[in-house]
Amino acid sequence: MKTLLITLAFLAFSAFSAQQNVYICTGSSSVAYHKTSDCSGLRNCKGTVKKITLQEAQKMNRRACKICYK
């Protein structure tokens, strides 16, 4: 039982400390980050779609996509 509790605590900590990945368009007019690379908000991307961490997107002053973060 003790081992189970320790394992569960470790898994919970790992989930919270893991970096969340998001997707951005590298086009000059892009302002949002997205949950998935196939979000309809990325359809008109004039650059490339790039996978980055949520922290990186926030440092770039990106906001959450209004479509995939409803």
Residue 46 has pLDDT above 60, yes or no: yes
pLDDT tens, residue by residue, 28-42: 999 999 999 999 999
Read off the amino acid at residue 38. D
Mean pLDDT, rounded, for 39-66: 97
> How is residue 34 written in tokens?
């997205």
Residue 53 has pLDDT above 70, yes or no: yes
Read off the amino acid at residue 20. Q
Q: Which of 6, 46, 16 is nearest to 29 (CA)?
A: 46
Full-model pTM: 0.74
Tell me if 10 is assigned to some domain.
no
pLDDT tens, residue by residue, 8-32: 555 555 455 568 999 999 999 999 9
Tell me if 11 is assigned to some domain.
no
Count of domains for the chain: 1
Contact 65/34 with Cβ under 8 angstroms? Answer: yes
Residue 35, domain extent = 19-70
